Amino acid sequence: MNTQSPAPRASRSGGRTARRAARSASLPDHLRPVRPGMETTALRILSQADMERIHQTALAALEEIGLADAPPSGVELLTQAGCTLGHDGRLRFPRALVEDTIARANRSVTLYSRDGKNDLQLSGGRVHFGTAGAAVSMVDAQGRAYRDSTVQDLHDAARICDQLDNIHFVQRPMVCRDIPDNLEMDLNSIYATTAGTTKHVGVSFTDPAYVQPGLELLHMIAGGKEKWLERPFVSNSNCFVVPPMRFATEACQVMEECIRGGMPVLLLSAGMAGATAPSTIAGAIAQAVAECLAGLVYVNAISPGAPAIFGTWPFGLDLRTGAMSVGSGEQALLSAGCAQMHKFYDLPGGAAAGASDSKLPDMQAGWEQMCSAVMAGLSGLNMVYEAAGMHASLLGFCHETLILDNDLLGQAQRCVRGIEVTEETLALDQMRATCLGGPGHYLGTGQTLSRMQVDYVYPEFGDRTSPKEWVERDRPDLIQKATEKKEQILAQRAAARFDAATDQAIRARFNIHLPA
């Protein structure tokens, strides 16, 4: 509910206060104006012929160019599946093999939450927004400065996300730079995020040897291996390729271990248009599609039907400077085009949208974030990664921005929901009653009041007061209000924290850096 509603006058406080209290009460999920997994494919920037050409280009690239640098285990798996290993060391993928894999791949993936209340169903045009990335810095919004990110920052980000309705999942958004040992960093990243939120979490592993300790930790959190396998609430974000068209050897070994451990995998191809991918938008999408199709063959060679997300993540490049341009219109087109290719294959997919090149939560950040978040949502992108909190072309993360982005993503989701055209919403009966002998306006009618929260999304921080009211309220500052909200959330112990016995057992087994 918008916090800017003016205080009621004493003489009229009874009815108005009661109505305001009713509107502030939580709505049942089925009546919320926006919610996770709303479905749409309203935006189609690629024609059917365009998608066919991208598909054929990807097949040709896989058959003629192939991918280099697969680990020995991957070479064995893929050649047994039907790939050929050339004298140049590149694995090439016959068209029939790729098309057969697409036909039998898992078309509906469930990403589980730990408490069962926020499961994500990935299929069709169902849209979910969340965090992602590996920022190395935290943005101090008040001090307008950057500093190294820490495990406490990561835990705090998860705690904040847990309280935000429009953030649907938490993929690790930053690196714990205060933990120099990579194994301990990976394990503490799992602990910090899962102890901060019960929503679905995505993490990475820096070495194949770290997967088994990570799974052991997850089994302890879940209450046993069997319970973990029933509802794996953490997925692996896996950069299995180093564009252009090379496997990331160790990441592939990580992927093999994760799949065998029952962990869903995000097949992440993150080429940069003009540097590690073709500079054209169509070419960058085609290469990302080819690389992810190779990953899909790989996954299904390990375990047919294993849950995998088709993670085409091509990024834009400012060709004047060589810097990433994640907040550009080109980035919005890249992600929207990728979403359409996911629908072309009818595969669960994800891409990056909603990040900013701006260094601070300012006007630039706002226009950049909203542009790509809305376009990705309207394209029916199943998983919109990087959608909250991310600045400086993925180098900086900001807790205040994360909180403000909850408002932004609420508006984006209202666009995703679209316009319902029914007998009731066309409202001809209301027009008759209002215009023919009625009051001549719709304010205060039963129909208007009944639709207020069902149809409309009200920002918590966005200011809709008049200039006069704004001055009377001492000119409230958006960043200050977000900071106050952050401090309010972080003053409370995370509801997702583990019970004392589980936490004690975890700390006895692993070196956990967060205070108990």
Please give the residue that has the higher pLDDT: either 7 or 86.
86
Co-location of 231 and 287 in the same domain: yes
Considering the chain, what percentage of its residues have pLDDT values greater than 90? 90
Domain boundary among 399, 417, 435: 417
- pLDDT score of 18: 53
In a domain, 40, yes or no: no
Longest dimension (CA), the chain: 87
Q: In the listed set 75, 101, 127, which residue is the last one of a domain according to the structure?
A: 101
Minimum mean pLDDT range among 10-14, 72-76, 236-240, 328-332: 10-14
pLDDT of residue 21: 54
As a whole number of angstroms, the distance between CA 455 and CA 190 comes to: 37
Tens of pLDDT along 221-252? 999 999 999 999 999 999 999 999 999 999 99
Helix (H, G, I), strand (E, B) or coil at 91: strand
Q: Which residues contact 290 (CB under 8 A, 6 or more apart)?
A: 57, 58, 59, 61, 62, 245
Domain hosting 180: range is 106-417
Percentage of the residues of the chain whose pLDDT score is greater than 70: 95
190 lies in the same domain as 278: yes
Q: Is 93 found in the same domain as 203?
A: no
Out of 140-149, 448-457, 485-494, pick the least confident: 448-457
What is the per-residue pLDDT across 491-510, written as a single tens digit (0 to 9) for each?
Answer: 999 999 999 999 999 999 99
Q: Give the residue-averaged pLDDT of 418-433.
A: 95
CB 162 within 8 A of CB 382: no
Is residue 78 domain-shared with residue 221, that is, in the same domain?
Answer: no
Do 337 and 388 lie in one domain? The reply is: yes
- Pick from 300, 292, 302, 406: nearest CA to 349: 292
**CATH code at 206?**
3.20.20.480
Q: Tell me the two tokens of residue 402.
A: 């994360």
Q: Are residues 148 and 187 in the same domain?
A: yes
Whether 496 maps to a domain, the answer reads no
| pLDDT for the residue 421 | 96
**Tell me, what's the pLDDT at 24?**
53
Helices (H), 10-81: 13-24, 48-64, 72-81
- For residue 7, the model assigns a pLDDT of 41
508 domain-assigned: no
Going by pLDDT thresholds of 50, 70 and 90, the confidence category of residue 10 is very low
Res. 29 pLDDT band, cuts 50 70 90: confident
Position 392 in a domain: yes
How much is the average pLDDT of 72-94? 98
Angle CA 207–244–136, to nearest 5:
50
Residues 147 and 74 in one domain: no
Residues 154 and 235 in one domain: yes
* Residues 241, 356 within the same domain: yes
Amino acid residing at 362: D
Do 79 and 148 belong together in one domain? no
Q: Are residues 326 and 372 in the same domain?
A: yes
Question: What pLDDT does residue 13 have?
Answer: 42
When divided into structural domains, the chain yields a total of: 2
Average pLDDT, rounded, for the chain: 94
Position 450 scores a pLDDT of 87
Is residue 471 one of the residues assigned to a domain? no
All residues at 6 or more sequence positions from 323 whose CB lies less than 8 Å from its CB, including other chains: 317, 357, 393
CA distance 388 to 496: 20
Q: Are residues 406 and 307 in the same domain?
A: yes
Is position 480 within any domain?
no
Domain end (from 69, 101, 133) = 101
Task: Please check whether residue 35 lies inside any domain of the structure.
Answer: no
- Residue 130's nearest CA partner among 376, 348, 495 is 376
Nearest to 168 by CA among 328, 345, 377: 377
Please tell me the predicted confidence (pLDDT) of residue 453.
Answer: 83
Q: Is residue 247 part of a domain?
A: yes
Tokens describing residue 360: 């601070």
Q: Using one digit for the tens of pLDDT, what is the confidence trace for 276-330? A: 999 999 999 999 999 999 999 999 999 999 999 999 999 999 989 888 999 999 9
